[in-house]
Amino acid sequence: MENFSSMIDHTLLAPQSTREAIKAICSEASSFNFKSVCVPPHYVRLAKEQLKDGPVLVCTVIGFPLGYNRSGVKAFETKEAIKEGADEIDMVINNALLQDGLYEEVSNDIQQVVKAAQGRTVKVILETCLLSDDMIIKACECAEKAGAHFVKTSTGFSQSGATSSAVALMKKSIPQTMQVKASGGIRTSDNLREMIEAGATRLGTSASVSITQGLSNHSKSTGDY
């Protein structure tokens, strides 16, 4: 149970997010030992204050949700987020560059964020529901070349979210030094297990508490997990 909790980025990125809601997810993340909270850049400082020196990390999103920001803007966003306390960065890939086959520019876009992150974990959001398998593979190659640490399935703001097939393809398309984060539409413990079995080592969800409680109940009744 504890191992699953430590794989979860407890997420609140809805446009109607409030200070009180951010405080609530920080409290939940501490109680359930989640890996991080993933919050909008505006709330990074607040989340850091709430979590203080505890083990839960603060993650934020860059170029969110479309990824069309200029690379310099993404780098600036990243630097500002770090100043305010961000421990991890989830950046959105520029799918326009990817669709046009401008892979060097895609890599450069990611690399500027990686450099601005100063060694902190960078996850590259591909928005897999918009991409062919070949484009997913190319995006993974660009993320690897740029020095990113993770590739991530989705923003949760597009046509659909994570699928086990996309996770499996991403896992096969990266070296062992990189990892896969599944996010978008993970609402149940069955969803979570499916993504882990496909190769995800990090899960982004706003349903973290109900999923964790479901896993706990399952464990007590069956002895599994």
Distance of CA 134 to the CA centre of its chain: 22
Residue 155: both structure tokens together: 């923003």
Instruction: Give the contacts of 153 (CB within 8 A, at least 6 positions apart).
Output: 125, 126, 128, 161, 162, 163, 166, 167, 170, 180, 181, 182, 183, 184
Q: Which of 35, 74, 138, 181 is catalytic?
A: 181
Is 182 within 8 Å of 200 (Cβ atoms)? Answer: yes
Q: Give catalytic status of residue 90 as yes or no.
A: yes
Give me the amino acid identity at 139: A
Q: Which of 35, 123, 152, 171 is catalytic?
A: 152
Q: Which of 9, 87, 90, 109 is catalytic?
A: 90
Q: Give catalytic status of residue 181 as yes or no.
A: yes
d(CA 28, CA 151): 26
Is 28 within 8 Å of 49 (Cβ atoms)? Answer: no
Instruction: Give the contacts of 16 (CB within 8 A, at least 6 positions apart).
Output: none
Q: Give catalytic status of residue 171 as yes or no.
A: no
Active site residues: 90, 152, 181
